[in-house]
Structure 1
């Protein structure tokens, strides 16, 4: 148990005012994690020790969950005794602080952190770029990890995104993340966890916030949080951290910063992997964006950008391009097909007229919010045939532009096994295409589909495949 003694070093304490759980709720909470759903009465010796451990955790959900996860399905009395002994030795002096104020320590976090794999430790350390209580989306965090090169499958048979999801779930189970009370689709880090992430990340991550900048030459990951900073402070930070890999603009109120000066300054960061300017007041990107040869992630969501320069198509390492809710954006670059490593093209909330040609060249594309069938100059529906790795939801719009049922068949929707939801939409028009039912007949999806929607379908009958027993559980609208 020598290593356990090291893991339970309680030398650093931080006080937080948190309402503790009752004894009954504490025990139920602890049992849920420590016994893995098994009845604790089946292990009377462990149950007795567990109740003593519960008392030492003083109703702290974080401590109960962390220790419970550490002991999960470890059914040796010696292991439970060792944890209890260390809790007794180190928490006895803090009884007087346990009245209405719950004293939490880094010890339970460190206990859980030390048992993470080296890969997940690096992913958690990267999260120090987020302030405590900052709401973030799981999928975006996984894409950031991927851009940083933190996701590797030693077996080589899993998608990087699946590896990232596994890392996230592991971190969530250990209470490093928790569901936001304000937005159930997002997650946050508790204050204590945020402090701990900063501690383990060292000087590589920096948040420019009210506490003051601490950017150094070693800084690799930088986020901007406070609107109080002048452009000179930002410029000084960028000039100092010349080897920056990540730049995240997290404060949506930082509109006083001049966009041209900001983009000009960022152009000095030749090794940048991640660039997020979400909500920033820009209408265009400079052609010099192509100088970011290592860029893998761009987030321009909720900006007023009107078009992307063709030079974006020279970013051959780009994996993720987020353009969601760029309402002024009506077209994609003509040569976007050159982004051969692109995996996620997120364009929900935009109003594109059509998809550019050769979309089928994006063979590794997995997220495509929607596909607009071109009438003449852009991509026809058969270009979807080359996108075999699409996941999640796909909407196919302007299906009235499909020339023939044969073209629809070449979309190969039946081979896209990872699509969960499919939306098929025609334009609301009084003119009914002659081939409307034949086209829908050839757009038969794979039976893995969970939900199917049709909009403005003006045929008199639905296709025969919709009546197959294999589609009996599908949700339709």
Structure 2
């Protein structure tokens, strides 16, 4: 059990207190003469919350504390269920009361109007549940007193800081180890090789904390770059890929908003016409090709040689929007990390004033593994103390030894998190999913049967979610966003039979979540991304997923993690079993290890398919025969290392009227592709094609 779980528990307590003071809950408790219980709950929960800081520290070394926290977590969710029922009952009674005063109800005898069997049943059940919670709460407080937990004294103080979008500003004096990277990007910006393109997109890729934004800032402020381009603009995109918002941000930086109306997006096209520009789109997560083309459309009116730099952690983004080879950022050298660490720990360039700390400082730095963010976080953590013992405590913190965490950077950030106040822990992004208990209380006014939404954001281990996850039988929407070191889906996912939208599904290893868990989710609609398909070893389990029966899925993404040792035969069988319903509109296959694509992708059995993307299928020797798909508009083929030839098989059966609706065709990083043989028939090929892009295909 990790600190993240305790953070979620702290945040959960905030929601419980909010519910305990809500007017609906207070009304029910008062009507049922249970307000004394409510007061008792508040008192005991306050006592428990005051020791959570100490408990989260001691649970790593004390099994008793760990067991106590497990029991507390169960109780917290059960108490929340009861408060949720009370809020729902309050709304139901309000609806009934309004109905009783309506014109229709005046014909009903008064002796009937006052009697409601539902209320009687609710009263009996609620009293029983509250008595059970009372007993469990009392037992937990008693056990807490025997664990020697210390109350939070409030000595840790800090200020809250909301998320701030990145800007183009940078202190170059505090940037280390990125000189060569800067030269490489500047060279790409000024390169004549790219200068003939109307618009080139350079993607810089790397994991969080490597310095992608910093590198973009250095390039953006370079004197030579500034002279080369007529216009420059910076936009922080993040996970809110709002096309209008991003366009307005760029427009504001190019014009005087007090003179022009920034809501007139046509101004951007006028402003860019015939001028060479440089735009930075920082922290892009959205890999939807259609959204990208919409955002890009006004940019295409600039002069030849215009450039866009995109920073992203997402390989999918890089392959979707980049028009040049991706520039992948590497880790820093130990020396450069040491300079960053020293700057933030001591506010100096060396340990001259604190030589006694240098040796242990270098040992601490080994935890950074070349990450500038890690060096900065650790340095900032130690900046407030120059005591050797305090530095030693950080070096030997048990957080480094938590076995479930393999990410060194995450451990460092958790160590920094450990020293936050309880209030800031509850506000931490890493427990975002606990906000309003993950939006579970988005109920309709009809009380029962209303839609529910669960949002999980920034979670590193989904298995740490509520143990009673499968009990959320009315859950309609499950969004899993911005997740890292994922292992498997939450226990009970297969029980959510009412689920309509599921953004991501991760196939677990061994005894983890199985793809067959999708079997009962027959009402899924919209977009579904299935990742870690290399973990599917049982073909029968893939059949159980029954994707072919999910008629409302519009977009399907299927991802295998690339592994040279992966059994291609199993991958072929698995993909054969994962045929989507014929109504699917978008299909993306990534990392598939088979030699050939399945038969279901070779016939015109998908009359609604508009977009197909195939990426990193490194063992395939041929492309899918999709030329007969009637309304296919976008076809993106990237990183197909074994394909040498495109011939009649690519166009489909008989080569008749191939690709009749295709508008965009892109080939990228096809290192062995040598021949492209036309159909050689009387019918015109690609009659609607607007864009053809071929890059990194040296043998063609």
TM-score range, shorter chain: 0.3 to 0.5
User: Greater relative contact order (Cα 8 A, min sep 6): structure 1 or 2?
Assistant: 2
- TM-score normalised by the chain length of structure 2: 0.32
TM-score with structure 1 length normalisation? 0.43
Q: Which has the higher helix share?
A: 2
Larger Rg: 2
